[in-house]
């Protein structure tokens, strides 16, 4: 089984320690709101993931929880916009917007894509920022989906 490698660094600059195609995964909300957190770093580096996300939410059939948009940004790099949070965090909200089942579903789709393309997966600690998730709940989802499929994973702490 593959393992998770933890690095200090920027997930928008995947390390070359693992050669071949790379998929950068991050968690998005189901409202079409893009403008805080890791997405700012993505948009600064590549406009296509934000553009694709906004276009999808402007359509008559916006992406559902658990779905993933794969957006090519460079010859061998794709960004996976994983819809894994219901709404956005608000003051006084009883539970965080993260939806672990949706993250699991999305990661399973990422695992399939990575296996098809021989890609490694790179990410910040997804779902643990604005989505309010806990890493001790996210890490087992990565193990059960990506690592179980033999996909190498690198997690970046900025």
Q: What is the CATH number of the domain that holds 38?
A: 3.40.220.10
Q: What domain range includes position 98?
A: 4-157
Per-residue pLDDT at 15: 85
* CA distances to 22, 60, 92, 156, 157 from 26, in Å: 13, 24, 25, 12, 13
Give the separation between CA 39 and CA 3, rounded to whole angstroms.
Answer: 25
Mean pLDDT of 56-76: 96
Query: How many structural domains does the chain have?
Result: 1
Q: What is the pLDDT of residue 80?
A: 98
Structural tokens at position 50: 């934000």
| pLDDT-derived band at 156, boundaries 50, 70, 90 | very high
pLDDT tens figures, 9-62: 999 999 876 689 999 999 999 999 999 999 999 999 999 999 999 999 999 999
Q: Which two tokens stand for residue 70?
A: 């794969």
Count Cβ atoms below 10 Å from residue 136 Cβ, excluding itself: 8
**Model confidence pLDDT, tens digit, residues 86-128:** 999 888 888 999 999 999 999 999 999 999 999 999 999 999 9
């Amino acid at each position: 089984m593959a393992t998770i490698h933890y690095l200090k660094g920027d997930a928008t600059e995947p390390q070359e320690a693992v050669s071949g195609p790379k998929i950068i995964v991050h968690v998005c909300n189901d409202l079409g709101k893009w403008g805080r957190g890791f997405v700012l770093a993505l948009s600064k580096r590549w406009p296509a993931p934000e553009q694709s996300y906004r276009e999808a939410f402007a359509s008559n059939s916006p992406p559902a929880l658990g779905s993933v948009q794969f957006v090519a940004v460079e010859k061998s790099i794709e960004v996976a916009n994983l819809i894994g949070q219901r709404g956005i965090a608000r003051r006084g909200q009883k539970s965080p917007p993260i939806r672990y089942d949706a993250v699991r579903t999305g990661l399973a789709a990422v695992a399939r894509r990575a296996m098809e393309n021989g890609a490694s997966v790179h990410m910040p600690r997804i779902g643990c920022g604005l989505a309010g998730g806990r890493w001790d709940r996210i890490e087992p989802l990565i193990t059960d989906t990506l690592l179980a499929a033999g996909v190498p994973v690198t997690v970046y702490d900025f």
